[in-house]
Amino acid sequence: MARSHLTLAALATSAVAGADIVGSRPLSSSTTHRFDSAVVTLRSGEEYAVRVPVNSDAEAEQSRDLVALRALTAGVRTRLPFHIPDQLGQAPIGETRAVVYDFIQGRPASLADVGGEGSASDSIGRAIAAIHSLPTSVVSDAGLPSHTASQIALSSRKLSDRAAASGRVPKELLTRWSLALEDSALWQFQPTVVNGSLGPESFLVIDDQVMGVLGWQELKVGDPALDLFWLNSAARSESADRVFAAYEHALARPADRQLRKRARLYAELEIARWLLHGVDSRDESIIADAEGMLDALRTTVQNDLLNPLSTDTGQIMAVEDVEAMLDRTPLPGRSTTSVGGESKAHANRIAED
């Protein structure tokens, strides 16, 4: 049963010493219901956000988020053109805890905010560039994960191989992914600090400006394309173009020329991740859903042959040659890591693109 905003207000009083709370209201979320949340108002007019995880997965996510927020020190935050939540206190409730943060004004963005003139596209692009421009020591000093380009390529290859082992992915997609994964030029990039779980709802916006960024539980050094693949879900390619243009202009270094190709690959592999989640959980409805998205994606890429994922402009391997290569490649077991509703939502939008 969801906890009321009055209950959450009482928890905030316990979590933050001296908090003189005079009002509260529910805090809605644009994502699946993983937290009970509320906004509380202090007599001073200041506002806090209170969040209580509703299951163990959400609790683990919140714990990772708190670790990342501690890594993003006051000095680091001065480098960013938006606000990041500050943890103000905690209070136990049952077998979990309520966490209180300062409240950042703004509404969660949607894909509708990625558009032309007057949209938040430029501000979103600048916000992502600012994250990627942080020194990698921010992550390494906090003991958070740091991945090399070769490690990231290997991880993507393993995901594709596991999806292939399920026998449920169209051969055309396996061919497309294999060409990209074996293309060394695609993986010659400099890892950067990445949020790791960005989507449109990560950005709190007012009018056309990003006021804050939420959800730092996957903070790491990794592929900058991980923070941009969700743009493949934009209704129009020119909308994503605007974000990429603002991003590249704001970077302190030349942008990676293959960034968009890897972003597209990650977007497509997100459907494979959703499929494997269904296979691992033996959920036939998820499997059927993922298979439908994969079939739609196959049709999309067949109708868009001018935009391959690989960078090689020389001789292209024939489909039968790639299939033979796949047959020679040992495939790992079918175990996979569970993914949540956000991955499914991203995958669904990609399949429909």
Q: What is the pLDDT of residues 98-151, one digit of tens each?
A: 999 999 999 999 998 998 778 999 999 999 999 999 999 999 999 999 999 999
Q: Between 52 and 338, whose confidence is greater?
A: 52
Cα separation, 210 vs 87, whole angstroms: 20
Q: Between 321 and 160, whose confidence is greater?
A: 160
Q: What are the angstrom distances between the C-alpha of 70 and each of 66, 211, 247, 257?
A: 6, 20, 26, 33
Q: For position 2, what pLDDT does the model report?
A: 66
Give the domain ranges of the chain: 5-104, 111-352
Q: Over 60: is that where the pLDDT of 299 sits? A: yes
Question: Options 3.30.200.20, 1.10.10.60, 3.30.1330.10, 3.40.1670.10; which CATH number does 5-104 get?
Answer: 3.30.200.20
Class of domain 111-352: alpha beta
At residue 333 the predicted structure's pLDDT band, cuts being 50, 70 and 90, is very low
Q: Between 192 and 3, whose confidence is greater?
A: 192
Q: For position 343, what pLDDT does the model report?
A: 58
* Whether the Cβ atoms of residue 326 and residue 271 lie closer than 8 Å to each other: no
Q: Between 38 and 34, whose confidence is greater?
A: 38
C-alpha radius of gyration, the chain, whole number: 21
Residue from 147, 152, 137, 140 nearest 79 by CA? 137
